[in-house]
Amino acid sequence: MSRMFKMVSLLLALCMLCGIPFVSAGAEEVIDADLTCTITLGNWPPDTAPQAEKDLFENYKAIMAKQYPNVTLVPDYYSYTLSNYVPMAKGGTAPSIFQPPFTDPQLLISQHLVGDVTDALEQFGVLDQFSPSYVEMLADENGRIYGLPRDGYVLGMHINIELFREAGLVDSDGLPIYPKTLQELAEYGQIIREKTGKAGLVFPASEAYGGWLFTNIAWNFGCVGENALEYQDEDGRWVCNFTSPECIAAMEYMRDLRWKYDILNADATTTDWAGAHSLLGTGEAAMNFAADDSVDQPTANKGLPVEDFALIPFPAGDAGRYALAGGTCYMFSPDITADQATALMAYLKILGKLPFLDDSIIAGMRADYAAKRDRGAPVIPAISAWNDAEYNAAKQAIVDEFSNVDMRLYADFFDSISEGTITLKSEEPVFAQQLYRELTAVVQRVITKEGADVEKALRKAEESFQEYLDDEINDY
């Protein structure tokens, strides 16, 4: 435990013992005493959360009470799923703020199930600082904003270095010789399988996960632009395109991973996101398509030491090098008033989710990174969703202070983003979850039936998803 962390912890403990919330001098000032409303906080930690996390939120609440004395905050822990949110939104019981993944905002916006915060963002002067790709994800066709990015991620690949070492895939410095292309992925995976008997690649192909990961592979085979998996034609109708030569080639590649190279985990069709992290963390698989925001899963949660873990860029295909950019966002109940929207932005500012810096926000970041380090999770820079240089530099300085990893194991991943050698791409634009489900079924077919007709399976999925698009958008 570093000296600085000890001091911060001691200070927090003293404040709690004295019964006073930990607030910085700047946080004591009243900002708006006239703003009067109540907001329910679905992003509040559950009762089972670590005490430090609960204390952190109590501290945020105390700051809010100082700055906006007539705004009442009601903690209301809520674990979002699409299925449980819809009845709550329709019944008027949804919390004022909640946290859906980036796959859902467009669906929620199109169904009028979320509240508009554009004017409140304007009021705080941050509307222009959004990364444009996030604006695209969180706005409707008129440019009205319905959500804020909580954290962003870029899909890459998690590596279990121990298995690479066993397979002889390390250089003279002990760093993993990792695959830079999808072809190398297949070949290295095969070496790992032969040398260690473990899966070269864990591929979670259950529910929507298989399709979700497949889209990223398909982009690297050229399923972008005019060959995109879904696009709007000149009449504005959404068209599904799973039978392009590029998409077929990508699916053939999936089949080869199973039947030619035999690098996939045994139960791919029942493996989900958590299961994939578990297999990598426990040394049952060497590689996993995963993002920078889940590096704590195989390490802190599954016991893989941070020195045996690396994060690398998504391997390139013949047609390019694309990586999915996504994350979790904050969205708001459909019935929020203008005052509530303002109060919610003020609350998010205190949480450090708007690009503002003050002592309390920096203290919050320090506590967050210190907690990560103590849990045995890699402390690495976060990908910012804000185009604000000062804000981003301050975060990097704190990361450096708490870093517990050899950054050479992450450098290529972050450099590929900052240097633009990888193209970031958001998820397919409409009904992504349904698209993933259709593609998951095809992935499952080709990795469980050696003789499966790839084109026929893709055509069936295409017809099914086209019917869905016609039903839900084109002929609505």
Partner 1 sequence: MSRQEKQIRTHAKLAGDIQSWMIMLPGLLLMTFFVWEPLFESIRMSLYKTRNVELVRFIGLDNFISVTGKDDFLQALQNTFSYTFWSLLIGFALPVLLAMLIGETTRGKGFFRTAVYLPNMLPGLAVIILWSAFFSGERSGVMNILLGKLGVLPQSYLTRAELVIPIIIVIATWKGAGATALIYMAGMSSISPELYEAAAIDGASVWRRILHILLPAIRKLAGTLLILQIISVFQIMYEPMVLTKGGPDNASLSLMQLMWQYAFGGAMNYGKASAVAVIVTLILLVMTAVYSYFNRKESDWD
Tokens of 85: 């949110």
Report the relative pairing of strands 285-291 and 199-202 from DSSP bridges: parallel
Only one residue has tokens 């292309």, namely 181
**Interface mask toward partner 1 for 54-73; x: CB under 8 A:** --------------------
Q: Compute the distance between CA of residue 30 and CA of residue 230 in angstroms, rounded to an integer.
A: 50
User: At closest approach, how far in Å is the CB of 266 from partner 1?
Assistant: 3
Only one residue has tokens 């506590």, namely 367
- With CB under 8 A as the rule, give the number of residues binding partner 1: 41
User: At closest approach, how far in Å is the CB of 456 from partner 1?
Assistant: 12
User: At closest approach, how far in Å is the CB of 37 from partner 1?
Assistant: 26
* Phi–psi pair at 310, nearest 5 degrees: -140, 155
Tokens of 44: 């509040």
Of these, 83, 132, 226, 234, which contacts partner 1 (CB under 8 A)? 83
Of these, 122, 449, 450, 456, which contacts partner 1 (CB under 8 A)? 449
Of these, 279, 336, 377, 439, which contacts partner 1 (CB under 8 A)? 279
Are the C-beta atoms of 334 and 113 separated by less than 8 Å?
A: yes
Please give the residues from 35 up to 54 whose contact with partner 1 meets the rule CB under 8 A: none
Between 198 and 349, whose beta carbon lies closer to partner 1? 198
Are the C-beta atoms of 346 and 67 separated by less than 8 Å?
A: yes
Q: Confirm or reject binding of residue 464 to partner 1 (CB under 8 A).
A: yes
Among the listed ranges 32-40, 155-163, 239-247, 460-468, the one in contact with partner 1 (CB under 8 A) is 460-468
Q: Confirm or reject binding of residue 468 to partner 1 (CB under 8 A).
A: yes
Q: Confirm or reject binding of residue 111 to partner 1 (CB under 8 A).
A: yes
Long-range contact list for 132-137, CB < 8 A, 24+ apart? 133/325, 133/424, 133/426, 134/329, 134/385, 136/426, 137/102, 137/105, 137/106, 137/329, 137/426
Of these, 201, 268, 354, 417, which contacts partner 1 (CB under 8 A)? 268
Q: Confirm or reject binding of residue 87 to partner 1 (CB under 8 A).
A: yes
**Interface mask toward partner 1 for 198-237; x: CB under 8 A:** -------xxxx-----------------------------
Q: Confirm or reject binding of residue 107 to partner 1 (CB under 8 A).
A: yes
Report the relative pairing of strands 285-291 and 37-41 from DSSP bridges: unpaired
Only one residue has tokens 């632009």, namely 225
Cβ-based neighbour number of residue 165 at 10 Å: 14
Q: Confirm or reject binding of residue 277 to partner 1 (CB under 8 A).
A: no
Of these, 12, 399, 441, 473, which contacts partner 1 (CB under 8 A)? 441
Q: How far apart are the first and last CA of the chain?
A: 59
At a CB cut-off of 8 Å and minimum separation 6, what does 255 contact?
446, 447, 450, 452, 454
At a CB cut-off of 8 Å and minimum separation 6, what does 291 contact?
153, 154, 155, 156, 324, 326
Q: Confirm or reject binding of residue 430 to partner 1 (CB under 8 A).
A: no
Q: Confirm or reject binding of residue 379 to partner 1 (CB under 8 A).
A: no
Q: Confirm or reject binding of residue 269 to partner 1 (CB under 8 A).
A: yes
User: At closest approach, how far in Å is the CB of 55 from partner 1?
Assistant: 32
Q: Which residues bind partner 1 (CB under 8 A)?
A: 81-83, 86-87, 90, 107, 111, 113, 197, 205-208, 265-270, 272, 279, 284, 431, 433-434, 436-437, 440-441, 444-445, 447-449, 460, 464, 467-468, 471-472
